[in-house]
Amino acid sequence: MSNIAIRLEDLVPVGKMTINSCETDLADFTALSPEYSVAYITAARSQMAGVDAVINPRKLISERVVITQRMDKNLGLLMDPINKLEYYLNNAVGLTILVKDFGIGEVRAARNSGNLETLDTALRDLLVNTAVPANLAALVAKGYSAAKNTVIVNLRTGYSSDNAAQVAKDKEITTLRTTNAPILQEFWDLLSQIWAAGKSIYKVSNPDNAKYYTLSHIESVIHNNALHGGFRGKVTHLGIAIKGLVVEIKPVLGGHTRKSTTDVLGDFDITSLAGAEYSYTVYQAGVVLKAGTFVLATAQKLLLNIAA
């Protein structure tokens, strides 16, 4: 059973701060024990790199990014056919249920929240209601067609497939961490050794420095800095700033979606972000103009100008 007492996502930041403190105070550590040396610091950083590869596997994350970007693009493609279907519903004669009961509102709400399980259910209900023979005949009479219906069906199939692929990729990442649990534990034990040594050195002689070898203080520093990051920039098209575009971001490995709308100068600003890898999507009236990714370091203020 793991004795790691923090979130795995915090292990590398905690390790980095601990090893940096040890390097700064290396003379005092060496005086305590000759095992603390430049070679010790080098080996600790090499071990940390191995831990980072387990916790943040770049290849798997990149593959997940591709899935996420495809999902975001398809989400951007959904609203045009849904808006047109709503037009046909509002003008159709002889429907078996009220227009509001077809599920258009539920589809919009689920799409805007990014909840794909709810979106899948909402689209299923909408398509079932639309496929009722009397309803379909009424819609076709106003210009709806099998081809237009197929667009919505294919988008739903794509979401479902990509959602499953994303879950599978997350399981791969979890399995990688579980399989390499001994590596993570070994690094935790090394950090614990440094903390014990640091506290023994400074507990009496320099209590202020001793706190840098106390896990609660290290975590408080990291978490205090964690939400000081930001993502801002300007969106242009053919060199011209565009007002009213929605810039949406979300962590590649899951988390809350954040949005900002460009102003008259094309500027957007999203604050209070933790250090992580994010995907971004730029929408105009629900249609994807641009998608990409960026990596935000802890407390970093990233400026990115986007040519859509």
Each residue of 198-230: pLDDT tens digit? 999 999 999 999 999 999 999 988 877 666 789
Domain boundary among 173, 204, 226: 226
The distance of Cα 80 from the centroid of its chain, to the nearest Å, equals: 26
- Cβ atoms of residues 270 and 231 within 8 Å: yes
Q: Are residues 163 and 151 in the same domain?
A: yes
**Is the pTM higher than 0.85?**
no
User: Residue 129: phi, psi to the nearest 5?
Assistant: -65, -40
User: Residue 159: phi, psi to the nearest 5?
Assistant: -60, -45
CATH number of residue 239's parent domain: 2.60.40.1120
**How many separate domains does the chain show?**
2
CA–CA dist 147, 29 (Å, integer): 73
Each residue of 149-178: pLDDT tens digit? 999 999 999 989 998 999 999 999 999 999
Q: Are residues 130 and 265 in the same domain?
A: no
CA–CA dist 87, 103 (Å, integer): 14
Q: Are residues 222 and 275 in the same domain?
A: no
- Cβ atoms of residues 303 and 235 within 8 Å: no
Q: What is the mean pLDDT of the chain?
A: 91
Between these two residues, 65 and 105, which has the higher pLDDT value?
Answer: 105
Q: How many CB atoms lie within 10 A of CB 43?
A: 12
Q: Are residues 161 and 249 in the same domain?
A: no
Task: Tell me the C-alpha to C-alpha distance, in Å, between residue 24 and each of 20, 27, 205, 294.
Answer: 6, 8, 17, 31
DSSP 8-state assignment for residue 245: P
Task: Tell me the C-alpha to C-alpha distance, in Å, between residue 19 and each of 58, 69, 131, 299.
Answer: 23, 36, 63, 19
Q: Are strands 301-303 and 229-237 parallel, antiparallel or unpaired?
A: parallel
Residue 165 is predicted with a pLDDT of 94
Residue 231 is predicted with a pLDDT of 92
Q: Are residues 214 and 265 in the same domain?
A: no
